[in-house]
Amino acid sequence: MKTISHHTTFRWNPQARVGAGLLLLAALGAGQAVLAETDSPGPASTSAKPAKPAGPPVQVSTTRVVQEAVPIVQSGTGNVVALATVTVKARVDGQLESVQFTEGQDVKAGQALAKIDSRVYEAQLNQALAQKAKDQASLSNAEMDLRRYTELIKDDATTQQTLDTQSALVKQLQAALLTDEAQISLARVQLDYTRITAPISGRIGGRLIDPGNIVHAADAGGLVVINQIDPIALQFTLPETAFQALNQAIRNSRKPLKVQALDRVSQQVLAEGDLVLLNNQIDPSSGTITLKARFANGSHKLWPGQSLNARITLGESSASLTVPNAAIQRSQNGLFVYVVGADDVAHLQPVVAGQSDRQKTLIEKGLSAGDRVVVDGQYRLTPGARVVEAKAAAPAQAANASGAKP
């Protein structure tokens, strides 16, 4: 019997290796598809959806953009100045006998302030009075002689020349009396000047000269300075670009424009007054125009030399958008606010802001009436963050805490 043995020879085919690899990749792809189909919630999930913000909502406070009537204002800086300033000086020469004021006190116009030795001026007045009495007696005698000569000339008992000479003498003495009256008035004025009084009402400054000193009418200095501080004035400047609006507002207004004086640090309104001056020229060197406002200052909140801000109201805008100042944020790219959409997601919105006061800012561009903006909690926000109103979140947290088990 013959044993038949079978030997099979295997040869490796490169094309077969490529085909096997493709089959393996296809099997792996099919497996991943099955797994994906198993994990998929259904056909509806095949459509793309925006990713929702992750993490808990951020508690913020929001408000709505308001459309309202807003005063149109211009703001500038300036200094308080006395409404009137007077340096009190001596008007006659003499020794200063006494000072009748206290430094820093308020005085009224006509109040006595100082006294100069008046004896010389009293003597001059008496001398002028005596001269008048002498000339008056001479005039009376000359007038009597004139009446006699007038009667005598009728009987040719005197000459016409004598009558004319006597008439001229009477006129001369009458003129002398007028001179005497003038001298008496001058002497009385000089005597009155020895009593120095306040020319205006105001606040006395520091005394510049002490009693006992000799003062002269020609002295460059004075005795004291009086500043009128009630009412008082604020002198401030605005850029020349504001001139046309200012001029138009002044022409259209039947009353003086209102001006507020504000503290530069706190922006507190210290006083409200009226515009009294729009200067008659623009300063070409600084490109500004000077204005002055007048304020009642009974409480003395304004003081000469004080640096303040000024806000002048030119009119009113009936349809302006405003937000609280707290809503305005600043970045290196400019101003922005966080706007909250209907889905309670906050996004960053650049804005163009106009004038502002202590409470709110006018928005010129970037927002619409009714937009919901964040006014508190911005430091915790990032664009796209989900938010919840802080006032609404507090009761919910309290309810959860009361229902929690110990």
CB atoms within 10 A of CB 322: 23
- With cut-offs at 50, 70 and 90, classify the pLDDT of residue 53: low
Residue 230 lies in a domain: no
- The pLDDT tens digits of the residues spanning 343-391 come to 999 999 999 998 887 788 989 999 999 999 999 999 999 999 999 998 7
Does 348 lie in the same domain as 308? no
Nearby residues of 47 by Cβ (< 8 Å), 6 or more positions away = none
d(CA 268, CA 257): 20
Residue 308 lies in a domain: yes
Residue 386 lies in a domain: yes
Does 171 lie in the same domain as 103? no
Does 200 lie in the same domain as 142? no
Does 241 lie in the same domain as 182? no
Does 188 lie in the same domain as 214? no
What is the structure's pLDDT at 60?
95
Residue 23 lies in a domain: no
The CATH number given to whatever domain includes residue 299 is: 2.40.30.170
Closest Cα partner for 272 from 283, 249, 256, 248? 256
pLDDT at 24 over 70: no
Residue 41 lies in a domain: no
- The pLDDT tens digits of the residues spanning 290-346 come to 999 999 999 999 999 999 999 999 988 878 899 999 999 999 999 999 999 999 999
* Per-residue CA distances from 72 to 115, 259, 268, 362 (Å): 54, 12, 19, 10
Judge whether 329 and 336 are in contact, CB under 8 Å.
Answer: yes
| Mean local confidence (pLDDT), 95-114 | 96
* Phi, psi (rounded to 5 degrees) for 279: -55, 150
Tokens read off for 124: 């001059």
Residue 42 lies in a domain: no
Tokens read off for 174: 């009458």
Range of the domain at 265: 73-82+237-316
- The pLDDT tens digits of the residues spanning 163-207 come to 999 999 999 999 999 999 999 999 999 999 999 999 999 999 999
| Reported pTM | 0.66
Residue 49 lies in a domain: no
- With cut-offs at 50, 70 and 90, classify the pLDDT of residue 29: very low
Residue 231 lies in a domain: no
Judge whether 229 and 303 are in contact, CB under 8 Å.
Answer: yes
Closest Cα partner for 330 from 347, 344, 348? 348
Does 294 lie in the same domain as 243? yes
| Percent share of the chain, pLDDT over 70 | 83
- The pLDDT tens digits of the residues spanning 118-139 come to 999 999 999 999 999 999 999 9
Q: Strand pairing of 58-64 and 387-389?
A: parallel
What is the structure's pLDDT at 303?
96
Last residue of a domain, which of 296, 316, 336? Answer: 316
- The pLDDT tens digits of the residues spanning 260-276 come to 999 999 989 999 999 99
The CATH number given to whatever domain includes residue 202 is: 2.40.50.100
What is the structure's pLDDT at 158?
87
Q: How many domains, in total, are found in the chain? A: 4
Angle in degrees, 0-180, between the axes of helices 119-154 and 160-193, rounded to the nearest 10 = 160
Does 296 lie in the same domain as 250? yes
What is the structure's pLDDT at 359?
85
Does 324 lie in the same domain as 292? no
Which of 26 and 76 is assigned the larger pLDDT? 76
Does 301 lie in the same domain as 326? no
The CATH number given to whatever domain includes residue 383 is: 2.40.420.20
The CATH number given to whatever domain includes residue 137 is: 1.10.287
Look at the alpha carbons of 33, 37, 38, 41 in this order and tell me if their dihedral is positive or negative. Answer: positive
CB atoms within 10 A of CB 281: 7
* Phi, psi (rounded to 5 degrees) for 338: -95, 120
Does 353 lie in the same domain as 305? no
